[in-house]
Structure 1
Amino acid sequence: MSTANRKYKDSVFVDLFSEDEKAKENFLSLYNALHGTNLQLSCPVENIRLDNVMYMNIINDVSCLVDNKIIVLAEHQSTINENMPLRFLEYIARLYEKIQAPTDRYLRKLSKIPTPEFYVFYNGTDDYPESTILKLSDAFIVKPDCLPLELSVKVFNINKNKGAEVLSRCKTLEDYSLFVEEVRKQTQLDSENGFTNAVKICIEKGILQEYLMRKSREVINMLIAEYDYDTDIAVQRAEEREIAFADGSYQTKLETAKLMKGMNYPISDICTISGLNKEEIEAL
């Protein structure tokens, strides 16, 4: 399922379910867990990931064509982004452009397309429910009785303590959840050697054992790249806020958000109109 010459670093999640030599087996295991099916390894699975669309340098998405469906998976380690449905809308439009012949859209006869499904696997530290659904229509400023467009994203909290049922049906996803938990724990204990220690401990515990024994150095490099990327983004956002605050625009956003919050607008609407994120609004 792998694709050559990627222009950015993949995450461990993406490598497991899209790029590794056993990615097809892992992906089908997850697909079967989500759908209650029993597709076998002989089932055709086509990797149709896009280059560098959802993120800037590290792409945490998996996109596959299987069983007449486009399955789009995304890992989310930070606070859940409530704009994910809009991002997936932009993403799926590009996927359809990629897989459909340019002339098909002009045919008189209906051109059939694979059914899209969207999933986010959350493993951050916020208190988030076991599962929820994000809808594109939640972002509409005006919501008519008959929606002209909708896109739903199923979000699963895959932290082990949340007990998402999908973990019990997919061993690779369960092991990945435990791996992330161990990485988080070990990096807090030892910032310099945390990644290496986490990989070693997981191998000893039998968590993703075969995968980590085979690719330990690559996995550590991926973890370092993810950490560096997250750090860079945090610094960039802090700098942007300083600049915005200096020219007064950030203060204006805060005042707008305060006013809307006082009028009991939904958080998603306040995010859309003010440009602030959920944490900034909840802190007001």
Structure 2
Amino acid sequence: MRKKQRKTISKTHRKTISQNSSVNRKYKDTLFRMIFRDRKNLLSLYNALNNSSYTNPDEMEITTLEDVIYVGMKNDVSFLFSSIMNLYEHQSTVNPNMPVRGLFYLARIYQNYIKKMDLNIYSSGQIPLPVPVYVVFYNGGKAEDEYQELKLSDAFMKSEFTGQVALECNVMVININLGHNEELLENCKILWEYAYFVNEVRENQKHGFSIEEAVRKAQKNCIEQDILKEFLKKNSAEVKDVILEEFNQEQYEEGLRKEGQMEGRKETLINLYRKHLLTLEQAAEEYGTTVEEFQKLL
């Protein structure tokens, strides 16, 4: 029974990949990016994170990569401000490989910066570079810590090397679901409104509404309460499409993770059986299938 279900999931994933093949050709907006492409909103978020009080959003230089090569690397916005190269994105899942993506993305941003500033990396003098800051705003459905710090070095394979490693990339993951990091959400009203809207969609789904109806009801409720009111009224259709895409992608990625977990569990049980640590019957029972079906996996 479960074996057939896994095959169905795989076919669904392949179909979804085919349907979403345009992702490799065109960047797909996220609701977070739609909101924070507005420089005033972005400056408000920067101030809330850094306990600052800057007032001129025109001083921000947007550095978000738009070319096709980096489309597959999900990023919402990057910008240079106050000698800091900021990389912000939202995620509905916490991925331990974020530092790797950040490394690649930041390297390209700095490459563009050096070229634009006409800096000579072969000069005898040290070239000045902005300080890199990478922040991920988490708003998924799973319980996560208020703050998490992910490091590129955590991915390095164990070795006898005891010297100083050549690379590091730190990612600060901040939980912005309602009830978390309340001071940050209080200091950035637009971030709180964003979190509230996403929460409304999720709550509507929990009450049995389809994703389309959940979005519609969330939009209506937020407009009535003056939450993202003008933004939602102006971008109603686009917001619906973006949210549907985000939630479908979230469901798709969750399916991939579950499928990967099942695949890993299968390999573990097979190894235990081959090492005579489990009988065939025990392995089949643990995997949730019949002995005959489990034998076909060997």
Report the TM-score range of the alignment, normalised by the length of the smaller protein: 0.7 to 0.9
Determine the C-alpha separation between the residues in 1 that align with 2:52 and 2:126.
29
For the structure 1 residues 241 and 134, does the alpha-carbon distance in structure 2 shift closer, same or farther, using more than 3 Å as the test? closer
TM-score relative to the length of structure 1 = 0.74
1:206-230 alpha-carbon deviations (Å, 9 max, x no partner)? 2212211221111111112223333
In 2, distance between residues paired with 1:10 and 1:139? 29
Task: Indicate the residue corresponding to 1:67 in structure 2.
Answer: 82
- State the partner residue of 2:101: 87
Query: Does 1:225 pair with 2:251?
Result: no
SS at match of 2:168: coil
- In 2, are the aligned partners of 1:167 and 1:174 still within 8 Å (CA)? yes
Output the amino acid matched with 1:8: Y
Verify: 1:100 aligned to 2:114, yes or no: yes
Give the match for residue 175 of structure 2: 157
Verify the 8 A CA contact 2:39 2:58 in the aligned structure 1: no
User: Which consecutive residues of structure 2, in runs of 5 or more, have no partner in the other structure?
Assistant: 1-24, 273-298
- 1:250, CA displacement in angstroms? 6.8
Once the two structures are superposed, what CA deviation does each residue of 1:83-130 show, in whole Å capped at 9, x if it has no partner? 211211111011111221276222222111111101011111222111
SS of equivalent residue, structure 1 residue 9: coil
Q: Is 1:25 matched with 2:43?
A: no
Q: Which has the larger radius of gyration?
A: 2
* Closer, same or farther: CA 30–254 of 1 in aligned 2, 3 Å: farther
CA distance in 2, matches of 1:214, 1:254: 56
Change (3 A) 1:255 1:67: farther
Would you say 1:10 and 2:24 are equivalent positions? no
User: 1:130 touches 1:164 (CA, 8 Å); kept in 2?
Assistant: no
**Equivalent residue runs for 1:230-241 within 5 Å:** 230-233=250-253
RMSD (Å), alpha carbons: 3.0
Deviates more, 1:141-150 or 1:188-197: 141-150
Q: Which moved more, 1:68-77 or 1:160-169?
A: 160-169
Measured in 2, the distance between the counterparts of 1:253 and 1:33 equals: 49
Match of 1:178 among 196, 202, 206: 196
Alignment check: 8 A CA contact 2:26 2:71 kept: no
2:231 paired residue number:
211
Name 2:184's counterpart in structure 1. Answer: 166
Query: Over residues 196-252 of structure 1, what are the superposed CA-to-partner deviations in whole Å (9 max), with x where a residue is unaligned?
Result: 11111111122212211221111111112223333454566677889xx5xx99726
1:48 matches 2:63: yes
The answer to whether the 8 A contact 1:157-1:164 is kept is: no
Q: Which runs of 5+ in 1 are unaligned?
A: 1-5, 257-284
**Structure 2 equivalent of residue 195 of structure 1:** 215
2:197 counterpart letter in structure 1: F
Match of 1:34 in 2: 49
- 1:40-94 deviations in whole A, cap 9, x for unaligned? 125411221113566639x44211111111100110112x111211211111011
**One of 136, 146, 154 as aligned partner of 1:138:** 154
Alpha carbons of structure 1 residues 97 and 249: separation in structure 2 relative to 1, 3 Å = farther
Provide, for residues 124-151 of structure 1, a one-character-per-residue CA deviation record: whole Å limited to 9, x for no partner.
1222111121122222224736443322
Question: CA separation in 1, counterparts of 2:63 and 2:269?
Answer: 39
CA contact (8 A) 1:12 1:222 kept: yes
Within 5 Å, give how 1:111-126 maps onto structure 2.
111-126=127-142
When the two structures are aligned, how many residues end up with a matched partner? 241
Asked if structure 1 preserves the Cα contact closer than 8 Å seen for 2:39 and 2:57, the reply is no
**What SS class does the counterpart of residue 86 from structure 2 fall into?**
strand
Q: In the superposition, relative to structure 1, how do residues 178 and 249 fare at CA in structure 2: closer, same or farther (>3 Å)?
A: closer
SS in 2 for 1:104: coil
Indicate conservation of the 8 Å contact 2:121/2:127, yes or no: yes
Q: What secondary structure sits across from 1:207 in the alignment?
A: coil
Q: Percent identity?
A: 35
Q: After the TM superposition, which of the residue ranges 159-168 and 197-206 deviates more from structure 2?
A: 159-168
